[in-house]
Every structure is written in structure tokens, then in C-alpha cells.
Amino acid sequence: MGIAKLLGVFLVMEMTSGFRSGADGLSMGYYIMSCPMAEFIAGGPFYDIPKGRKDGSRSKIEDTRNLPPPTLNASELIKMFGQHGFTAQEMVALSGAHTLGVARCSSFKNRLRDAVDPNLDSGFAKQLIKTCSAGDNTEQPFDATRNNFDNLYFNALQRNTGLLASDQTLFASARTRNIVNGYAFNQAMFFLDFQQAMVKMSTLDVKEGSKGEVRQNCRKIN
């Protein structure tokens, strides 16, 4: 999990038990480094991760404290990913992993308070307010196909129905809007860019020697 922690790019999909909620209320499919078939199984692209890297030998909830809050704007996201060598386009492509899974109300309820987020569709806002009346742990899918890896996440952003502020900012910002529009129009382009960005991510924070392990089961520590 070192790469996800390093970049602050969300959480992990547990393929055997559905989507697991994480420390910050997000529950979506990013990736499991030693199980690169996750998105493929959900209908997304297949990518061949370079062989030889080890998995981390630690998985603690406190390690997620450095994850970025779901309130970051596009400029902040560009800066964060840029610090690790990723372009704005790669950041948007990787954000498309939010095509899978759900988020808890606790991660987006700030958009529904007295002054509703102006970048949020009013009808969608009313739907979310009703959903979240059941409590902070209530879950809402990121898009209409929560178990399918596709480009509907980007279509949702065009309609101002992005769930998190850090989602909708990608369309609200002039710096990333054209990228969103491109992926919404061309799913194949999204898949290709996502593949390439994931392979690039696989070269970060490589564990060597005793710092890592070869797992017997890629979804849990030995």
C-alpha cells in the first residue's frame, strides 16, 4: 500500500468481500498492486505491471492519515500529484478510478450545508440530502454503475453530479475540464491513459529487501 499512501490516491478494493469503507469514509476501487486484475474484472482495462516489486508488510489505518481530504481543488490535486512526477492529465485519469464503489456521507456532507456547493446540481443535492438524513455512514455510489469500470464517472462530472468536491473540481476548473470532456466522450482514451498512469505508478515507492514481502495471498499480509 506504499504507493497509494505516498500519492494519497484513495483506497483499495477488496475483491472477495465487495467494497470496504476506509478511514476517511471513502470506499471505492483504486487498486491492489499485486492484484492488477481488479479493474479488468470490473470491465476496465488490463495492464501488465512490471514484475519483481514486493508488497508492504504493514497495513494500518493510521497510515491513511496523510490521504488528501475530499475537499481538495484541482490546483491542489495537480500540485500533489506533480510532486511525484504526474501530469494533470495523469491525475485526472487516475481519478477515474472513482468509477468504482461508493463514498460515505461523512466525506461529502460539507457540500450540503447552509450554502450548497454551487458546483453541485440542485436536484442531485436534494437527493444527497435525503440519502444522508440516514446518517454519516450512509453510502452513495460515485456514479450510476458502481461495480463497472467505465467512463460514466466523467459523464457525471459534466452534469455536475460528481460526488466529492475533489471529483467535481476536475470539471469546474478550466485547467482540467477539457481532459474530463475528452474522457467522457472517448472511453478508450480514458482506458489507455489510465493503463499508462497505473504502470507509471507501479515504479514508485518500490519495496526492497526486508522492507517488503512476496505475499501468499495478494489481498492480505503473510
Which domains are delineated in the chain?
2-213 (1.10.420.10)
Q: What is the pLDDT of residues 191-215, one digit of tens each?
A: 999 989 988 887 877 777 777 887 7
Residues in the annotated binding site for heme b: 98
- At 123, is the pLDDT very low, low, confident or very high (cuts 50, 70, 90)? very high
The helix-helix angle for 165-172 and 88-95 (nearest 10°) equals 130
Maximum distance among all Cα pairs of the chain, rounded to whole angstroms:
53
Bridge-partner residues for 118, per DSSP?
A: none
pLDDT confidence tier of residue 47, bands split at 50, 70 and 90: low
Q: Would you list which residues are annotated within the binding site?
A: 68, 98-99, 143, 145, 150
At residue 16, does pLDDT exceed 70? Answer: no
State the average pLDDT for the chain.
Answer: 77
pLDDT of residue 119: 93
pLDDT of residue 48 exceeding 90: no
Q: pLDDT for 146-190, tens place per residue?
A: 888 899 999 999 999 999 999 999 999 999 999 999 999 999 999
In the structure grid, which three cell numbers stand for residue 86, read together? 504526474
Alpha helices for the chain (secondary structure H)? 2-7, 38-41, 74-82, 88-95, 122-132, 152-158, 165-172, 177-185, 187-201
- C-alpha closest to that of 21 among 112, 136, 165: 136
Annotated binding site for substrate: 68
pLDDT digits (tens, 9 = 90+) for 73-116: 999 999 988 988 899 999 999 999 898 888 899 999 999 987 78
pLDDT value for 189: 95
**How far is the C-alpha of 190 from the C-alpha of 209, rounded, in Å?**
35
More confident residue, 25 or 205: 205
Residues 27, 141: Cα–Cα separation, whole Å: 9
State residue 108's pLDDT score.
Answer: 92
Annotated binding site for Ca(2+): which residue ranges?
99, 143, 145, 150
